[in-house]
Amino acid sequence: MLKRFNSILTPIIAVLLGIIVGTIIMVVSGYDALAAFTALWNGAFGDSYYFGEVIRQVTPYILAGLAVAFAFRVGLFNIGVEGQFLVGWLAAVWVGVAFDLPKIIHLPLAILASMAAGALWAFIPGLLKARFRVHEVIVTIMMNYVALHVSNYIIKNIITDNKDKTDMIKETATLRSDWLQSITDYSRLHWGIVIAIIGCIVMWFLLERTTRGFELRAVGFNQHAAHYAGMNVNKNIILSMVIAGAFAGLAGAMEGLGTFGYATVKGGFTGVGFDGIAVALLGANTSLGVFFSALLFGALKVGALNMPLEAGVPNELVDIIIALIVFFVASSYIIRVFLDRFSKKEVK
């Protein structure tokens, strides 16, 4: 019980330490820290529009975090979420633009296409890891760049006629909701948040309540012991990467079918996939942890946009705070040692 409490307390302390050090940096740099955090709060929760934007930003963060967390629970480090995210975005928009179907068929088809594209993109490093023991970090990093340039080529030369942007998706493929937008002062909030929450439940149920999930976690704990127990380690490695890729592709669909409604040629990475790594780390690679971690990161990202306007503080300082939070999460061993020693003193 005490160990479980400490595992919950560790990321909370990491967040507090990140905020404290970030505050010190603001003060040393000559900025008003209180005004900065007030502007941050107002920019995230000051009115219904900002709140809607926070939830909209949280949606892909949840799914990107799940993509990292799921693979990590099986002992794999999925750095390729950004690439899987991009191909999922492209596949969803492609289906949304190319077909003219009833909504009950068109929207699920576009979502499934994004999941299939992300899963296929993650299958390649999973196969190389399982069959040839090629490290997944190296392969997934390279696959990110391949995804970026291939998706740009497809947009410019196949979906469109030498244009940098696709047509808007059909109304039958959109996740947007007039009702959700009206209650949040016409923010870009869409139904994707429901899909993200369902994704959290699916990951929890699969890993914690199924035989397949037990095998996946066993492989993550010790591949040799899992193999000795008769489990197919290679199959589980590939399966975990495919499922993780499906989550990442689904995150891309949230942007393509919900936030924007189109795909564009990109000059660089969106950053959502890489932020998903931080979300998963802070959330301790659990469904519930990823959900709350994504809420924090979404609020910080959206609220930061208000800091230069209201307090004259560069929003890059929020990126510094996020980096510090990740640093302290990565240094969680030190925090756990301190908590364990404090707990022992309390017992005595």
**How confident is residue 6, by pLDDT bands cut at 50, 70 and 90?**
low
Instruction: Give the torsion sign (CA, 325, 250, 155, 171).
Output: negative
- Taking the CA atoms of residue 159, residue 160, residue 162 and residue 167 in that order, the dihedral angle to the nearest 10 degrees is -130
State which amino acid sits at residue 327.
F
Q: Which of 144-158, 195-209, 334-348 has the lowest mean pLDDT?
A: 334-348
Burial 69-86 (b: 16+ CB within 10 A, else e): bbbbbbbbebbbbbbbbb
Question: For position 136, what pLDDT does the model report?
Answer: 95
Question: For position 8, what pLDDT does the model report?
Answer: 76
pLDDT by residue (tens digit) across 255-304?
999 999 999 999 999 999 999 999 999 998 999 999 999 999 999 999 99
The dihedrals phi and psi of 316, each to the nearest 5 degrees, come to -65, -20
Neighbouring residues of 146: CB distance < 8 A, sequence distance ≥ 6: 83
Residue of higher predicted confidence among 333 and 294? 294
The label of the residue with tokens 């890489």 reads 274
pLDDT by residue (tens digit) across 99-116?
999 999 999 999 999 999
As a whole number, the mean pLDDT across the chain is 93
Question: For position 162, what pLDDT does the model report?
Answer: 86
CA–CA separation, 116 and 264 (whole Å):
20
Does 166 have pLDDT greater than 80? Answer: yes
Question: For position 330, what pLDDT does the model report?
Answer: 77
Residue of higher predicted confidence among 214 and 7? 214
Output helix, strand, coil percentages for the chain, rounded to the nearest 5. 80, 0, 20
Tokens of 169: 């998706």
Question: For position 99, what pLDDT does the model report?
Answer: 95
CA–CA separation, 305 and 242 (whole Å):
35
Question: Contact 119/248 with Cβ under 8 angstroms?
Answer: no
Does 348 have pLDDT greater than 70? Answer: no
High-pLDDT (> 70) share of the chain, %: 94
Does 334 have pLDDT greater than 90? Answer: no
